[in-house]
Structure 1
């Protein structure tokens, strides 16, 4: 297997500032997408350095009406105790991601006859958009509507495939496949709650493996998510972790404050 790192994971947005300490990514098309607007540290910051960059990013995002600040820390390093305490006391949501990869021929997963998986077409694009909208609504109406328009535009992107799964003809799940030169990334894999544990997630992955047998398949899992145990059983290789942190701020409009994500603008 080729050398895979978090650098292989696709990021929407543009690098607008970079030096030997950090890089800043900004995505004007989706300002409220947290994972596309952030600072990524190349080396672990001290508490004072983190505070300085937090103040900077808050001021920068505030100019665009953004309600969050997000940071990624260097791979395979844990923030120091005083930094973790500062983030906890300051209302940051801190977690970690895990990186996995597999050669398609080594995939072990269920092949359920009741599940059909296909690339999204013009005819069923509305189904894909609605499934994503329903899932994204938990983050607020404004975000869900912005994401729907973004997904609609992504339909014509050659390096991305939008995938749907059906259980006995009923829409069951979806994912996005990001096609690189040597890798294929499974991104945003989801199965609707009432149809979980019927093999849709495994069948979606098998579709990817069969569609791209000569590429390394990669994905990122939430470190606290039980799905990562499934990936291990399916023969994915664990390649490392990366800590991240997020802080949300209330939105102010007409003298009132609204919780992040709830204000439709």
Structure 2
């Protein structure tokens, strides 16, 4: 199997600046999506180098009307104690992501539940997807939810992104995106409505991905401090590394 790294993960956004130290990603279509507007360091920066990159990104974002800065650090390298202290003292939220992969044949079989049905998103059910996502994204604010609807529409037209819906007893219950490359199928945006959780819907959505793309390496990124990562481990996903992130939201 080809070695999978964070470089295989799909990024929404374009590189607007690249140098020996970092790549700057920007996505003008959705300026409030932090995961599309950030700097990704190629090597761990010194305190001086970080401050210089921070100043550059803050100035760039201010010109665009953006109120955040976000940074990703090199994979599998923990920031230094001094850098963590600087981030903490200046109001950053610090977290880390974990990369997981699985061969579809290794995914455990899911108990058949006739109450759960799966549909690929088409013109006929696209509005169902928009509604599920809108209700979920409202927790980030109405502006974000509306802009996310535009993003979902653009992705619907992308032949390399498959959008999938789950229903429970006929009611819309969840969804997932699958991003296809030559070797991988990336599970992204796995969402189950709160009232339908713990019914096996998330597992059934994943099983559908395994059945649809049996020859792909299935990959995903999980929040290193969130509970779904424990589910992925139980489902035989293999851990492939971590990446630290830090973001700061300005109030003015």
TM-score, normalised to structure 2, is 0.97
**Which residue of structure 2 lines up, in the alignment, with residue 8 of structure 1?**
8
In the alignment of these two chains, the number of paired residues is: 251
Instruction: State the match for 2:179 in structure 1.
Output: 178
SS of the aligned residue for 2:110 comes to coil
Report deviation, 1:46. 1.1
What SS class does the counterpart of residue 70 from structure 1 fall into?
A: strand
How much has 1:198 moved relative to structure 2?
Answer: 0.2
Secondary structure of 2:174 counterpart: strand
Q: How far off its partner does 1:142 sit?
A: 1.0
**CA–CA distance in structure 1, aligned partners of residues 229 and 217 of structure 2:** 18
Contact 1:109 1:234 in 2 (8 A): no
- Please give the residue correspondences for 1:52-201 in structure 2 after superposition, counting only pairs within 5 Å: 52-113=52-113, 114-201=115-202
Q: What's the counterpart of residue 207 of structure 1?
A: 208
* Structure 1 runs not aligned, ≥5 long: 252-265
SS in 2 for 1:171: strand
1: CA distance, partners of 2:109 / 2:198 = 12
C-alpha change, 1:64 and 1:235, in structure 2 (3 Å) is same
Preserved contact between residue 100 and residue 220 of structure 1 (Cα < 8 Å): yes
CA distance in 2, matches of 1:69, 1:137: 22
Hey, what's the Cα distance between the residues in 2 that align with 1:116 and 1:93? Answer: 38
Q: Which blocks of at least 5 consecutive residues in structure 2 are unaligned?
A: none
Q: Tell me by how many angstroms 1:225 deviates.
A: 0.9
Using the size of structure 1 for normalisation, the TM-score is 0.92
In angstroms, what is the RMSD of aligned CA positions? Answer: 1.0
Q: Distance in 2 between matches of 1:111 and 1:119?
A: 21
The alignment partner of 1:240 has SS state of strand
Deviation for aligned residue 1:109: 4.6
CA–CA distance in 2 between the matches of 1:178 and 1:90? 36
Deviation at 1:130, TM superposition (A): 1.0
- Separation in structure 2 between the aligned mates of residue 247 and residue 132 of structure 1, nearest angstrom: 25
